[in-house]
Amino acid sequence: MFKFQNQFKRITICLFIFLGLFLINCYPVMAINNLNDENSINNEINKLYLEQKELSKKLKKIHIYHLSGDIKLKKIR
């Protein structure tokens, strides 16, 4: 009987320790606001992609019509 009570105390102590560690580490941690950062990065990528398409269209026109290099490519917004 003494051995059984001793094992019961050990199991109880282990369960309390496990429960304590579980409760301590149970809260969520968020270092940065990932969703807003991801959206802003995607928006910036889309803007740069559209700007690249416009510039490549202008360069193709210059190449097709053999225009001189005097033409200034302006950024369209």
Write out the E strands in 1-77.
none
Residue 10 CA neighbour count, 13 Å, CB half: 6
- Degrees (nearest 5) of the Cα angle 42, 43, 49? 90
Q: Does the residue 18 lie in any domain?
A: yes
Segment 54-65 shows an average pLDDT of 82
Are 35 and 59 in contact by the 8 Å Cβ rule? The answer is no
Q: Does the residue 70 lie in any domain?
A: no
pLDDT for 73 equals: 59
Number of domains into which the chain is organized: 1
Q: Does the residue 71 lie in any domain?
A: no
pLDDT at 52 over 70: yes
Q: Does the residue 49 lie in any domain?
A: yes
Q: Does the residue 72 lie in any domain?
A: no
Q: Does the residue 74 lie in any domain?
A: no
Q: Which residue has the tokens 């990528």?
A: 45
Write out the residue range of the structural domain in which residue 20 sits: 2-27+41-65
Q: Does the residue 8 lie in any domain?
A: yes
pTM above 0.85, yes or no: no
